[in-house]
Structures are given as structure tokens and as C-alpha cells.
Amino acid sequence: MTHQNSASADSLTEYRDSIDKLDRDFIALLARRMELVRNIGGVKRDDPQAPLRDEDREREIFEVWAQAAAQEGLSPYFVGRVLRELLNYSRRDQERHLDRPEVASAVSAVRVAYQGMPGSYSDLAITKLFASRDVERLDRVGFRGFTAVLDALEAGQVGYALLPIENTIAGSINEVYDLLAHRPVRVVGEEVWSVEHCLLGVEGAQIEGLESVRSHPVALQQCKKFLGGLVGARLETYHDTAGAARSVARAKDPAIGAIASEEAAQLWGLQVLRRDISDQRTNLTRFLLIGTEAEALDPRQPTKTSLVMVVRHQAGALYECLRIFDEHGINLTKLESRPLPEKPWAARFYVDVHGHAEQEPLASAIKALSRHTSRLKVLGSYARRTDVEGPLPLPSPSGRAETTSPSPSHEGANAVGASNEGASNESAAAEDATEKKVGLEATGAVCPPTKVEGKLTEPAFSGERRTVTVGNVEFGGDNFVLISGPCAVESRQQIVASAAMVRDAGAAMLRGGAFKPRSSPYSFQGLGFPGLEILAEAGHAYELPVVTEVLQPEDVMRVAEGADMLQVGARNMQNFSLLKEIGKSRAPVLLKRGLSATIKELLMAAEYIMAGGNHQIVLCERGIRTFETATRSTLDVSAVPVLKEKTHLPVIVDPSHAAGRRDLVVPLALAAAAVGADGLIVEIHPQPEEALCDKDQALTEELLGQLVQGLRPIVEAQGRRF
């Protein structure tokens, strides 16, 4: 026994040594890669015309990495995440040279003041922010209050101050805003820190044994649900999370816990009793870096400007200000009002906009604003760090890197808006053309009779297809889109396991019903909105846009907030009030063919949605009711080419509900691909035998793998990519 143990310990040591060596090589390679990145940064610095970011090139790199990862048997998804971090770091590194071209070498030492103690979130954010600024030594100096921090800056004791300005759960930190409005300082940077609250205790402490928990009041507030479960534990407020951690370490009492960062635990020698205890998964704090004078910024860098203004006490003055931003095409990312204690009912506004205060169009807008404001202070212009990263580009086996899907960054969100607008203008043009034809007809000109019925779904068909974009997924182009997931959202665990399965198989979207239209009122009806929430969370975590069914008109807008695509189920295809409500939203729609609906009726259902202005529709053939009972429904394969002849909308197929039996799903799916469908929606389940809904048709992981393998050659032979 002992002999065996020491032998296995030997081989463990050997493996670990090899890993350590590889890690050293890894870091050395990383350093060499960064050196090349810096050389590129130098080229960009010297050529002011060169774009800062080449998104096509980035997508290509993702493609190459994804393929190489797949060949090595690694998950392209996880390797992609590593690459994303790498690109982020590279980008920031290049930007720092652009910021201060004259500063070729490192600044020797920088002192930054913050409110709190070592290990507090402010302290951590400083390290993150300065990781991409050239400083040889960084000293972080903690102060008790925000005022003391700014006093130290103004007195020249420190070079910068870092203050929290808002949190995604708690909102704005008004005390800081009020200070900034009055102090002679400049905002010169921002940073976002993802807060992960942990419950900490001394060695040997147990969650059940805690009699009190200490932290900053905001942290206690943000972990209310978790703390609610600690029956009998007293809550004690502290001026700082890290300070609470330190006090627990000093008390050496296993009955006292603290809520703080994991870093604070390390720093004060505490144990993490539970990670990630916030009520809300996403908990971001935005910090501002404050200096005493403005800093140079490369005009190519995404820039943001913060303003404080007091609007003139006149009717319509705020409207005038907003109109000025709009007329100058300026993107407003924040507008918040604060009462002025000295002037009851008047208000000061905090405004964040894209752009630089000294560059057009913002410079002119600020000039115009001064006519409608009694006070206007530019707090500063600085490099933007709040643009949300889009999902990872999906790997494709054929290596085509030409997706044009914009990333949903704040900028991207605009781009999406812009392109949607473009699309609806196009369709407006198409409508115009139809209207003109009607007009011509009225004047008796020679023209084929135009029917108004179906004018949107059956336009004078030029062969051009319309694409529908959902997140980073495009239907109707050269992509074959696989949507997969369980019939119903049953639990967090089930949906997370499903998302992992779907993602690993290479599918592009996640499905899952939160509201289930069941034939029997006694069957599981779905988890409702809580189900939607966990579906959205899983989609977010695995970077898969999600589609879910909406059953009633009054839920449309709320479901559209959580899901990336709305599904209209077969039983609801002719629920006209539902279709009209969906027409008013701008969410992409998956419209399923009714159980006994003709192709014409399916198109008229799409027409209802389009008539409301929503043109983002993907049609879905899911089997129809015939005299045949061997299968759940009869898959009408011919509907695919017929629909593609009659309409420009993308068409996908649901082989699961057609078959009703898992053994038939793969062959029917392959037939759908062969006949030209733009994609598939297929049900899976991590444990099909335990599924609460449609268990007989749910594919296992193995069958899903077989499906993907079978699809690839068919889709590629058609010159499309999977």
C-alpha cells in the first residue's frame, strides 16, 4: 500500500513539474507575443490613419484558434475565452502608447489614493486600471472617506485618485458626484470591476456557526437573499469590506464572518466559506480615475465624456439640451438628475456621452448647450472601458470569417440599431415599390395585377433573401444554424447542463420553454418568468442567444426583454392578438407552422407580424397532422423549398416535434438540411428519461453528436457553413 502511494506521489510530482515547465514556456511565449503586439502598436501610433482595431483580423484569429483547438481535442469555446483575454490585454497595451506618445519609457512611480483598505474593491480596481499604464512602481494609499481622497489629490500628496461612481445594483454614488461637481479636478479614466462578494471566516469557521456577519452596508444589501438564509446571524455594518475582513481576522472568532473579496481573504489570512453570494449575478462597479489636469488621448480611441449641467429653469430647457445631443448625433449613455438642496425643485444633471469634449461633434454640442444651461462643467474626457464585449465569434469548419454581426457593445448596440434601421428602410423601399405598382395599376398602366394580401411575405421576388440576425447568429445567409436545448426549462442545473451540451456540440443557439403550451392542463406548464431568467443566465454564460416561446400577448414585451428570440408555437400560429403584439416588438421571431395550417396560412401569420413593423421572422416547419399515426406529426419536407420559393424569409425545420421519437430525429434533420433548410431546432436533454416534457424525442449527447457529424458534409457540399 505505502509503496503504491509513494509511486503515485512520484508520478504526480513528475506531472506537476512538467506542467510548471510548460507554464514557464507559456509565459515566455506570451511575452514574445506582447512584444510583437507592441511593435504593431508602434506602427499604429506613427500612422494616425491606421484604425486602432481591425475586427476582421480579430475574427480571423478566433477562427484559426477555434480550428486549431478543435484539432487538438480542446473546447474551441474555452480556448476562445483565453484568446479574448489576450486580445483585451493587447488592445489596452497598444492604447497606453497611443495615449501618451511622448512618454516612451515608464513613469517611475505613481501614487493613487482610494477610499478603503488594502483588498477593497477600489484597491483591486486600481491594480487593474494601471496594469495597462507604464508605471514602474504603483503605490496605493487608502483613506477613510471620499473627501479625504480628493483632499490628498489636491494637496499633491498623490498623483491620482480612484473613486467609485456607480454600481449596477446599487446605482450612482451621489456623494462622489457631488464632490466632482465642486472640486477643481478632472476625470482622466474609468475602470469597471466585476464584484464577487465572498463570505469569509477564520480557519475552522462554519457557515452554520456564524453569529454575526460584517461588511459595508451596500455589500450586505447586495447579499440579502443569501444572508436571509443565515438564521440568527446579526449583521454589522463596516465602513469598508476589506476593513470588515481585517477585523474578523483580528478577532480570531469563528462565530464572526465578513463579506469581502477573495483577495481580501488572501490578504488577511481568512478562509472563503462561500463564493459569489450576491443576489444578482452581474455586479459591476464603475470607478473614475481622477487627476488634476486633462490627459492626451488618441482620437481613434473610443472616448467618453462626463458632464454636469444645471438646466435653465424654463419650460422645455431639458428637452432642448437632449435635442442638441440628438442633432449632433451624440450617443448619450447616462442621464441622471440630482436635486439641488440650495434651489428646491431645480436639478443638476449628470451626463455621460460618447466622444471627446474638444473634438467634433461634441465640441459644438457643448457650445450649443451652454445657451440652455445655467452651469455646465466638463468633468473630463477619457478612454471608454464600459463597452460590453460581444459573444465570442463562433468557430466554423470552413474557415470563412465573414460574419458581419456587430458585437453588442454599447457602440455595437448602436450599430445594431443602425443596421436594423437600414433593414427596415430597405423593406420600406420594397413596400414603396409595391405601393407604386398599385398606383400604376390605378392609372391603367401596363402592370401585372398586384395583390395587397401577402405583400410583405411575398414581395415581387427578386431571389434576394432576407437574413435575420439574433445576437451573433445569422439566419438565411450562408450559415446553417443549429438551435438546440430541452423542451422545457426545468431547473438551473438542467439548463446549465443542456447549455454545456449544446455549446460543446457546436450549436449556435439555446432553446428552452419557460411557458409550455401543454395539451393537458395537468401536465407540467413550465416555470414561467423564473424559468426565463435562468435560461437567459445560461445563454449568457455559454454565449448562446436564447429562444423561448411566448404564449400570450401581455407577456410579449417582458419575454422579449429576457430572450433573444421569441417563439410562436404551433398551437398559437393563428393567435392573431399574439401575432399583432409581437409585430409591435422588434424582437426576432421563430414562427412555427400550425398543426394543421397550410403554407399559405403560415405566410399570412408572418404577414400579421410584419404588418406591425417587425420583419425579423424565421419560419419553422415542424410537422403537420395527417392520417398517419406512426409519427407524432408528418414532417412536410416539401414545405421548405415551397416556402423558399414563395418568400424571402429564412426557413428552418423542427424534426423533434415532427418525429416524436428520438431515433427518427437525426434522419429527418439530415433530410431537412439536404432539402435546403436554413437551420434546425432540435430538442435534447441531459437525462432524457427524466425530462418533464417531450422525453421520447429528446436527443442524448451521443445522438446530438451524431447529428452534427451527419450535417457537416451535407451543409458543406452545398457551399454553406455550419
Using CB under 6 A, count the residues that bind ligand PEP. Answer: 10
Cβ neighbours for 434, distance < 8 A, ≥ 6 positions apart: 450, 452, 455, 459, 460
Q: What are phi and psi of 140, to 5 degrees?
A: -105, 130
User: Which lies closer to ligand PEP via its Cβ, residue 622 or residue 721?
Assistant: 622
Which part of the chain contacts ligand PEP (CB under 6 A), choosing from 52-60, 66-74, 239-247, 567-575?
567-575
Closest CA to 682 of 496, 510, 467, 537: 510
**What minimum distance in Å lies between the beta carbon of 505 and ligand PEP?**
18
Return d(Cα 13, Cα 10) in angstroms, integer: 5
Choose, by CB under 5 A, the member of 166, 474, 549, 694 that binds Mn ion: 694
State the nearest-atom distance from the C-beta of 668 to Mn ion, in Å.
Answer: 15
User: Cβ of residue 677: shortest distance to ligand PEP, in angstroms?
Assistant: 15
Of 216, 657, 685, 721, which one interacts with ligand PEP (CB under 6 A)?
657
Q: Which partner from the list ligand PEP, Mn ion, none does 125 bind, CB cut-off 5 to 8 Å by kind?
A: none
Which one of 470, 495, 507, 570 is in contact with ligand PEP (CB under 6 A)?
570
Q: Which is nearest to 162 in space by CA: 387, 376, 382, 339?
A: 382
From the number of C-beta atoms within 10 Å of its C-beta (0-12, 13-18, 19+), residue 496 rates as middle
Any contact of residue 688 with ligand PEP (CB under 6 A)?
A: no
Binder among 622, 644, 662, 721 for ligand PEP (CB under 6 A): 622
Nearest to 324 by CA among 313, 333, 332: 332
User: Which residue's C-alpha cell is 460584517?
Assistant: 214
Q: Is residue 487 near Mn ion by the rule CB under 5 A? A: yes
Q: How far is the CB of 551 from ligand PEP (least distance, A)?
A: 10
DSSP 686: S
Quick one: DSSP state of residue 465?
P
Our finding on whether 95 is near Mn ion (CB under 5 A) is no
C-beta of 633: minimal distance to ligand PEP in Å? 8
Site string for ligand PEP, 169-198 (x = CB under 6 A): ------------------------------
- The grid cell for 270 is 481568512
- The DSSP output letter for 393 is P
Stretch that binds Mn ion, among 114-122, 483-491, 500-508, 658-666 (CB under 5 A): 483-491
x-marked contacts with ligand PEP along 579-598 as a string, rule CB under 6 A: -------------x------
> For ligand PEP, which is the closer residue by CB, 318 or 692?
692
Contact 539, 531 (CB under 8 A): no
**What amino acid occupies position 385?**
R
Q: Pick out residues in 530-549 that bind ligand PEP (CB under 6 A).
A: none
Q: Which residue is nearest to ligand PEP (CB)?
A: 569
Give the 3-state secondary structure of residue 669: helix
Do residues 671 and 680 touch, judged by C-beta distance below 8 A?
A: no
From the candidates 285, 305, 457, 467, give the one annotated as an active-site residue: 285
The grid coordinates of residue 243 equal 476593513
CB of 694 to Mn ion, least distance (A): 4
Q: Could you give the angle at the alpha carbon of 15 between the alpha carbons of 14 and 21, nearest 5°?
A: 90
d(CA 133, CA 126): 11
Of 130, 143, 146, 287, which one is the catalytic site residue?
287
When the beta carbons of 366 and 487 are compared against Mn ion, the nearer one is: 487
Q: How far is CA 195 from CA 168, 280, 315, 387, in A?
A: 10, 10, 41, 17
Does position 455 interact with ligand PEP (CB under 6 A)? The reply is no
Picked from Mn ion, ligand PEP, none, the partner binding residue 570 (CB below 5 to 8 A depending on kind) is ligand PEP
Closer Cβ to Mn ion, 615 or 632, answer by number: 632
Nearer to ligand PEP, 113 or 692 (CB): 692
Give min distance, CB of 659 to ligand PEP, in A: 12
CA distances from 645 to 193, 403, 462, 639, 641 (A): 51, 25, 10, 10, 6
Task: Give the nearest residue (CB) to Mn ion.
Answer: 487
Choose between 149 and 677: whose C-beta lies nearer to ligand PEP: 677
Nearest residue to 481 (alpha-carbon basis) of 500, 506, 498 = 506
**325 tagged catalytic:** no
Q: Which three cell numbers stand for residue 602?
A: 403560415
Instruction: Please name which of 602, 584, 586 lies closest in space to residue 594, comparing C-alpha atoms.
Output: 602
Residue nearer to Mn ion on the CB measure, 115 or 633 = 633
- Give the DSSP H/E element, type plus range, for residue 440: helix 410-442
Q: Give the residue carrying C-alpha cell 435562468.
A: 534
User: Which of 99-107, 146-154, 207-215, 693-701 is the region at the interface with Mn ion (rule: CB under 5 A)?
Assistant: 693-701
Task: From the list Mn ion, ligand PEP, none, pick the one residue 569 interacts with, judged by a Cβ distance below 5 to 8 Å according to partner type.
Answer: ligand PEP
Stretch that binds Mn ion, among 190-198, 460-468, 572-580, 694-702 (CB under 5 A): 694-702
Give dist(CA 86, CA 33) in Å, integer.
10
Is 119 or 569 the residue whose CB approaches ligand PEP more closely? Answer: 569
Among 41, 243, 539, 569, indicate the residue that binds ligand PEP (CB under 6 A).
569
Grid coordinates representing 464 are 434576394
Encode 3-38: b = buried (16+ Cβ within 10 Å), e = exposed.
Answer: eeeeeeeeeeeeeeeeeeeeeeeeeeeeeeeeeebe
CB of 400 to ligand PEP, least distance (A): 30
Is there a catalytic annotation at residue 26? no
| Interaction residues for ligand PEP, span 466-525 (CB under 6 A) | 487, 513, 517
Contacts of 716 (CB under 8 A, 6+ apart): 397, 398, 722
Residues annotated catalytic, as ranges: 285, 287
Residues lying near Mn ion in the complex (CB under 5 A) are found at 487, 694
The residues of the shown chain that bind ligand PEP, judged by CB under 6 A, are 487, 513, 517, 569-571, 592, 622, 654, 657
